[in-house]
Amino acid sequence: MSDQPANLREQALEEAALWFASLQDEQVSEQERQAWQKWLAESVWHREAWAKVEQIDREFHQLPAQRSFQALQSAGRSRRQFLYGLAGAAVALPFAWHQRDILQAAWTPGTLHQTAVGERRQLALADGSQLWLNTNTLITVDERAARRQLYLLHGELYLQSAPETQALRINTDYGSVDMMNTELNIRLGNNSAHLAVTTGEARVELAQDTTPVTVAKKESLAFNQTRSVLTEGISANDEAWRKGYLVAENMRLEDFMKALGRYHSQGWLKCSDAVANLRLIGHYPIANTRKVLDTLAQSLPVKVRHITPWFTLIEDNRNISHS
């Protein structure tokens, strides 16, 4: 259930964009060029990412003069910033995935509900059950079927079923979750789902293995279409987001930035390797991610650098680098 290939591509594209912009500087040193060559030779991911950034640059040059000017204006007036912006878009790929999910929702029974990045919503179902949608979430709810169905297509939800109601099924690409008199949280990742049961119990059937797995109170289940891993305990963040917080319990800064990035509507967040292993403890408000970034700069030895309006990098404030 590893997201490693996707993560490697994302990291390589971000680094390629930084290297490309650095090499456009007239004062680039021979040492930096050698470091870039070394980086390029380290991995096939690096070489593929570099080819992608070069392709973006070629496409930019092929734009008509007026469109090139408009693109530069929107990206910050410089070709280098334009490259940062386009490479950042290539890394994130949010629009393509969102359109895929919207198309899937059109063919899925029920009423559509969704949230934007950074938005959270609470809904009441017809039987009185309470449903919360986390950031960037897309679901459909079909309460007219003989068996009530909810389809989680993207994102994360928390469901608190009303007492003495009929069973409800939550469907995902990875499998289905049956619940009654239960409170649970379920979050979709790129290659798996994460289920946490707060009260009651739930039964999970994988898409390609229908042998049911029972998840009891205060247990968590990570699962994909073919296998699952059951663990005792649930994360504080399985519930904290409903109250507007992201909880860090000795969390690595890199992991924290990935979690915070889900709520950051102003583009992509990334931290450099030099600060990735710094540790955080505390409760951070997810409604104002820029304020959280300012807090990090005040409490940790890091610098928040807004490379473009849509790409923010967290670096060691004593050593600003290009990787």
∠269-274-280 over CA atoms, to 5°? 65
In angstroms, the CA 160 to CA 167 distance is 12
User: Which of the pair, 67 or 162, is modelled with greater confidence?
Assistant: 162
Sorting pLDDT into bands at 50, 70 and 90, what band is 323? very low
Determine the 3-state secondary structure of 96 from DSSP: helix
pLDDT > 70: what percent of the chain? 75
Arithmetic mean of pLDDT, 280-302: 94
302-308/311-316 β-pairing:
antiparallel
- Per-residue pLDDT tens for 119-143? 999 999 988 999 999 999 999 998 7
Arithmetic mean of pLDDT, 252-262: 95
In angstroms, the CA 171 to CA 178 distance is 9
User: Which of the pair, 287 or 31, is modelled with greater confidence?
Assistant: 287
Task: Give the highest mean pLDDT range of 83-92, 164-173, 177-186.
Answer: 177-186
pLDDT confidence of residue 19: 77
Arithmetic mean of pLDDT, 288-314: 89
11 has pLDDT over 60: yes
295 has pLDDT over 80: yes
Determine the 3-state secondary structure of 160 from DSSP: strand
Sorting pLDDT into bands at 50, 70 and 90, what band is 257? very high
pLDDT confidence of residue 312: 87
Kindly calculate the radius of gyration of the chain based on its CA atoms and give it in whole angstroms: 22
Could you tell me the two tokens for 123?
A: 């809904």
User: Which of the pair, 181 or 63, is modelled with greater confidence?
Assistant: 181
- Per-residue pLDDT tens for 75-109? 444 444 444 454 444 444 444 445 455 555 555 66
50 has pLDDT over 70: yes
pLDDT > 90: what percent of the chain? 51
pLDDT confidence of residue 197: 98
Determine the 3-state secondary structure of 304 from DSSP: strand
10 has pLDDT over 60: yes
Q: At what angle do helices 65-75 and 79-92 cross, to 10 degrees?
A: 80
In angstroms, the CA 70 to CA 297 distance is 33
For the question of whether the overall pTM of this predicted structure is more than 0.85, the answer is no
pLDDT confidence of residue 319: 52
